[in-house]
Amino acid sequence: MNSPQAANESGLLFVISGPSGVGKTVLCNRMIQKFAPGVVYSISGTSRAPRGGEVNGQEYFFYSREAFEKDISENAFAEWAIVHGNYYGTPKSFLDEKLANGLHVILNIDVQGALKIKNAYPECILIFIMPPSMAVLEERLRGRNMDQEEALQNRLANARREIEFRHEYDHVLVNDDLDKAVTELADIFRKHFQMGH
């Protein structure tokens, strides 16, 4: 039994941040595989339209702009932001329901969002994923071949800004070797399962 919590105990909220290209998504996916079914992904809400085959409640909760703004006014989001003209946010109802049912939730989010989550859920566990160096991060981003030079430089500038916040986190983990990082992250999860917080 990977997650030793009794069903009547509430789950833990793990918040994962780190610069673009550092491998957050792969690490989060590995934790879901390793600790399923006791660990689930947080699902965000968005006002953007679904893209090719996306299902409401699976990739995102899809809202109309009006419904999203109504929920903002009712303080229904643990955090929210406007990205490329669309709203994105973390619905408290989703987190509260999963945690109350004893499930552990992983939230992969940027630094600003993470600090807002910490405000709403002071018990959450903040984990920052670091690149081995800025040179390696640049190499990884170039290897993706997704960005024009200007966008790439923006990502690197954002990465430097985000890394400055690592001291706000409970754990800082360097993703140099993926298997080693997976083991270290799993150890962090297990430690918190045992402590219950």
pLDDT for the residue numbered 147? 81
Tell me the pLDDT band of 197, cut-offs 50, 70 and 90.
low
In a domain, 56, yes or no: no
Residue 84 confidence (pLDDT) above 90: no
pLDDT for the residue numbered 7? 47
Tell me the pLDDT band of 1, cut-offs 50, 70 and 90.
very low
In a domain, 37, yes or no: yes
Token pair, residue 63, equals 């809202």
Q: Which domain holds residue 147?
A: 13-42+102-195
Distances (CA, A) of 132 to 18, 139, 184, 188: 12, 11, 15, 19
Tell me the pLDDT band of 6, cut-offs 50, 70 and 90.
very low
pLDDT for the residue numbered 8? 56
In a domain, 151, yes or no: yes
pLDDT for the residue numbered 4? 43
Number of domains in the chain: 1
In a domain, 126, yes or no: yes
In a domain, 135, yes or no: yes
In a domain, 66, yes or no: no
Give the pLDDT mean for 103-109.
97
Asked whether the beta carbons of 50 and 66 are under 8 A apart, the reply is: no
In a domain, 181, yes or no: yes
pLDDT tens, residue by residue, 114-134: 999 999 999 999 999 999 999
Distances (CA, A) of 181 to 28, 123, 132, 158, 174: 11, 24, 11, 22, 7
Q: Identify the bridge partners of residue 82 per DSSP, sorted by sequence position.
A: 87
Given 3-state DSSP classes, what are the helix, strand and coil percentages for the chain, each rounded to the nearest 5?
45, 20, 35
Please report, for the domain that includes residue 147, its CATH number: 3.40.50.300
pLDDT tens, residue by residue, 30-80: 999 999 999 999 999 999 999 989 999 999 999 999 999 999 999 999 999
pLDDT for the residue numbered 3? 44
In a domain, 162, yes or no: yes
